[in-house]
Structure 1
Amino acid sequence: MNLVWQRFTLSYFRVQDYFATSYIHRALVGLLSSWRQSSILLQWGDTIAAALLSLIYLLAPFVSTTLLGLLLVACFGFWLLLTLSDDGTSTNSSSFTPIHLLVLAYWAIAAIATAFSPVKKAALNDLVTLTLYLLLFALCARVLRSSRLRSWLIVLYLHVSLIVSVYGLRQWFFGADALATWVDPTSPLSKTTRVYSYLGNPNLLAGYLIPAVVFSLVAIVAWQSWYKKALGLTALIVNSACLVLTFSRGGWIGLVVSILTVMALLIYWWSVQMPPFWRTWSLPIILGGLIGVLVLAVIFIEPVRLRVFSIFADRQDSSNNFRRNVWDAVFEMIRDRPILGIGPGHNAFNKIYPLYQRPRYSALSAYSILLEIAVETGFIGLGCFLWLLVVTFNTGYMQLRRLRQLGNREGLWLIGAIASMVGMLAHGTVDTVWFRPEVNSLWWLVVAIIASYWTPLSQNQSLDRSSASPEAAAN
């Protein structure tokens, strides 16, 4: 059974075998290697790539999607240049991981879905967009192999999130006009301010801040100076407060799930140093404390109580009723095209959904990332995406275990990436802000962080042999 799991999760994936049989790799990689050796500019290739990525994560909350699209095109061009100029005879075996292989498979399924789409032109436009995001992942995974550049991008994101959250808190104190009908006008919360900061939508802001809260919490542990720890604590308080004040129920679910995940992983990280009592009871104590805080908030804070109870109001809540009607139409769309779907992207969705929609319930998406993927690429695409998640989480766990054995504190940022993914998925079960550029770029960043830690099997085997030594056993 263990062998089946290892094969399913590609734990024994050998990149050398893949490259040896790949005609595309042999034909393209290294095509410009001789030019790179004489190019002063490309000697700083990864640094320049990090600068391009920095522009994306610096500007994402503040600029239009058009500008972000141009930056993604620039990232694609530079990734292509770096790949073509790599040394094809001595490819870094850690640059292509099992996660890359599943991302490539998902793109191939999306391309096939586009070819069979009933609205090919609309699907093709969004296939281009999907391709740019997947290549953003490829560039991030390449650059983030450097711990220095990895830390730089995480710190940059945390500082930008602070700016976004501070403006969101200002909206709470001084008021902000709702730009859409986010709250049922008949609800007692109709006069409550839902902050949205620079992103224009409270649900989108919540999705953007989930990784910020997680990485802020991890930063308190990972950063060693008290000054930096104070900065991490400030970011944690400000980002958490702003996320809560979005009154996004999906965002709250993602926040709770991500915090539980990061605490569980931190306990796992420290478990080898813990006394037996705390090794057994620390997680239940933390879980009980968090539940206690949530219960007290529900009891004593009326807006929180009303918003939480609305989750269980089914169709009595207008937002729940809206989603239920959209989901009913989406299930019919999946039923009619279950294999490959209608093609990727919201443009294809907007052309097909009106044929199924209930009267007065127009929608731009399926309001669930799993349903959206099933609609766009069918059960084949959904299966590949779920496989990608399994492989990504398994890779993250394997590398976290390796780094814990080595006592390498870089593993703490890996914990942040895993917990961020879990929180974003939890939010995405009831919303589709995951597909918006501000959030989607963060999703592929955290996936790339996990991929950047991957090491080939031979190194893991060496680690296993060394851990079996008497000195390792004594520890």
Structure 2
Amino acid sequence: MNLVWQRFTLSYLPLRQYLGTSYLHRSLVGLFHSWRQSSLLMQWGETIAAVLLSLVYTLAPFVSNDLLGLILVACAGFWLLLTLSDETTPNASSVTPIHLLVLLYWGVATVATALSPVKKAALTDLRNFTLYLLLFALCARVLRLPRFRQWLITLYLHISLIVSVYGLRQWFFGAPPLATWVDPTSSMSKTTRVYSYLGNPNLLAGYLLPAVVLSIVAVFAWASGFKKALALTMCVVNGSCLILTFSRGGWIGLVVAVLILIGLLYYWWSVQMPPFWRTGLPWILLSSLTCVLVLAVVFVEPVRDRVFSIFADRQDSSNNFRRNVWTAVFKMIQDYPITGIGPGHSAFNKVYPLYQLPRYSALSAYSIFLEVIVETGFVGFACFLWLLIVIFNTGLLQLQRLREIKSVDGFWIMGAIATLAGTLAHNLVDTVWFRPEVNTVWWLMVGLIACYYKSIPQGRDREFNSHNTEPTAS
């Protein structure tokens, strides 16, 4: 059974041997290598790539999607240039199991586009989808260099801090609602839902969720006392702003991310703990978190209203809207079950009106998993789940390796895993994942996991599940 899991997750795939025998790799990679050696500009290739990524994560919350799209095109083009001018010697760390599944997912999306009933619209969004995947490839490459990895993580945390500060300003001084974010008949009709520069509280929550998690792990990963204090400040400010979005999906994502992070931190430190704390600490932390949530629900009226509205079914206007959208989406899935209607909101906007209930127009399926099935069918959905499994499995294997060598980089792996889990939980009932502000950060987290990839010899995974021979960690 363990061997089946290893093969399913590509845990011990001989990538170096594969790259050495791949005709595609031998014919394309290194094609411009001689030119790169004589080019003064390309001597700074990795630095230029880091600058392009910095532009993406600096401007994403503030500029239009069109401008951000142009920067993504530049990132994709430069990744292609770097790859074509790379070393011809196969480097297994440059291609990971995650890369292979991303490529497979792109192939399925391409087939879905070719078979789409609205090919022109699907082709436009396939282009955008491709840009995000190439952004991941560039992130995974650049993040392998520690100085650029630290720079990009720190940059994102500082930009999110600016976004959060402006969101808190809206809470204290008020902000006009840009859309009907709150049911006018509910007790929350007068409550301000902050949206900062992003114009949407649910989108803001999705953008800030990684910032909250990364700022928590930065408290442990950053060395100096000043940096730790800064990370703690970021955690408080970003967390407060996320809560004040009153995004139920964002709250669910935050709780899931924190629980996952607590579990990973416990795994990291458990080998050092005395027997009492090793057994009792998880229950103490879980009980404490539960008490905090219960007290917030009991004594904070807006929180209580938002939490209870989750279980109000159709009595809540937002729930009722989603239920009606999902009814139409299920009919779309029934008609296009294998390869879907093609990727992207353009294809969705062309097909959904044929199925929608009166007065319930929508731009998406309001669930990332339903959206993936609608866009790429059950074939694409199976591939998407496989990709997620490989991402998390790769992250856990690399976390094990980093714990064994007592590397502080393990905290960033934990942050990435918890962030991805929380984002998926949020988008179980929303689709902000598809928005550039969130999607770019998602692929940054996936790239963060991929950049630590090192092939692990077969048999080492036994230690990961062993309770008897735990390695020592700091």
1:170 equivalent to 2:140? Answer no
CA contact (8 A) 2:271 2:472 kept: no
1:464 positional shift:
9.1
Distance 1:324 1:472, change over 3 A: closer
Q: Give the counterpart letter for 2:33 in structure 1.
A: S
Runs of 4+ in 1 over 2 A off after TM superposition: 20-23, 460-465, 471-475
Q: Give the counterpart letter for 1:333 in structure 2.
A: M
Aligned to 1:427: 426
Residue-by-residue CA offset, 1:355-401 (whole Å, 9 max, x unaligned) = 00010000000000000000000000000000000011000000000
1:81 positional shift:
0.5
1:110 and 1:126 map into 2 onto residues whose CA distance is 10
Give the total of aligned pairs.
Answer: 469
Partner SS for 1:254: helix
Aligned to 1:119: 118
Aligned to 1:260: 259
Aligned to 1:66: 66
Distance 1:138 1:176, change over 3 A: same
Aligned to 2:29: 29
Residue pairs, 1:278-293, within 5 angstroms: 278-293=277-292
1:166 positional shift:
0.2
Distance 1:247 1:473, change over 3 A: closer
Partner SS for 1:25: helix
- Between 271-280 and 59-68, report the one with greater CA deviation: 271-280
Aligned to 1:4: 4
CA contact (8 A) 2:216 2:232 kept: yes
Aligned to 2:355: 356
2:470 and 2:378 map into 1 onto residues whose CA distance is 46
Structure 1: give runs of 5+ residues left out of the alignment. none
2:28 and 2:94 map into 1 onto residues whose CA distance is 16
1:325 and 1:361 map into 2 onto residues whose CA distance is 7
Aligned to 1:340: 339
1:20 positional shift:
3.4
1:456 positional shift:
2.0
Q: Give the counterpart letter for 1:294 in structure 2.
A: L
Residue pairs, 1:410-421, within 5 angstroms: 410-421=409-420
2:17 and 2:333 map into 1 onto residues whose CA distance is 37
Partner SS for 1:284: helix
2:381 and 2:208 map into 1 onto residues whose CA distance is 26
Aligned to 2:233: 234
1:413 and 1:180 map into 2 onto residues whose CA distance is 36
Distance 1:462 1:322, change over 3 A: closer
1:301 equivalent to 2:300? Answer yes
Aligned to 2:456: 457
Residue pairs, 1:436-447, within 5 angstroms: 436-447=435-446
1:83 and 1:353 map into 2 onto residues whose CA distance is 39
Aligned to 1:39: 39
1:213 positional shift:
0.3
Aligned to 2:183: 184
CA contact (8 A) 1:13 1:457 kept: no
1:285 positional shift:
1.1
Aligned to 1:400: 399
2:147 and 2:470 map into 1 onto residues whose CA distance is 29
Distance 1:192 1:473, change over 3 A: closer
1:183 and 1:14 map into 2 onto residues whose CA distance is 53
2:446 and 2:57 map into 1 onto residues whose CA distance is 15
1:16 positional shift:
2.1
CA contact (8 A) 2:132 2:443 kept: yes
CA contact (8 A) 1:9 1:391 kept: yes
Q: Give the counterpart letter for 2:75 in structure 1.
A: C
2:281 and 2:221 map into 1 onto residues whose CA distance is 20
CA contact (8 A) 1:110 1:377 kept: yes
CA contact (8 A) 1:369 1:428 kept: yes
Aligned to 1:49: 49
Aligned to 1:142: 141
CA contact (8 A) 2:174 2:192 kept: yes
CA contact (8 A) 1:14 1:457 kept: no
Partner SS for 1:197: coil
1:282 positional shift:
1.3
1:366 equivalent to 2:336? Answer no
- Between 140-149 and 318-327, report the one with greater CA deviation: 140-149
Residue pairs, 1:146-157, within 5 angstroms: 146-157=145-156
Structure 2: give runs of 5+ residues left out of the alignment. none
Distance 1:250 1:347, change over 3 A: same
Partner SS for 2:167: helix
1:345 and 1:462 map into 2 onto residues whose CA distance is 41
1:214 and 1:419 map into 2 onto residues whose CA distance is 7
1:474 positional shift:
8.8
CA contact (8 A) 2:395 2:417 kept: yes
Q: Give the counterpart letter for 2:10 in structure 1.
A: L
Residue-by-residue CA offset, 1:227-283 (whole Å, 9 max, x unaligned) = 111101100000000000000000000011101111110111111111111111211
1:339 and 1:463 map into 2 onto residues whose CA distance is 35
Q: Give the counterpart letter for 2:421 in structure 1.
A: V
1:317 positional shift:
0.1
1:215 and 1:372 map into 2 onto residues whose CA distance is 27
1:339 positional shift:
0.3
Residue-by-residue CA offset, 1:201-226 (whole Å, 9 max, x unaligned) = 00000000000000010011111211
1:402 and 1:130 map into 2 onto residues whose CA distance is 32
TM-score between both structures, scaled by the size of structure 1: 0.96
1:462 positional shift:
8.8
1:52 and 1:347 map into 2 onto residues whose CA distance is 27
1:147 positional shift:
1.7
1:422 positional shift:
0.4
1:21 positional shift:
3.9
CA contact (8 A) 2:219 2:232 kept: yes
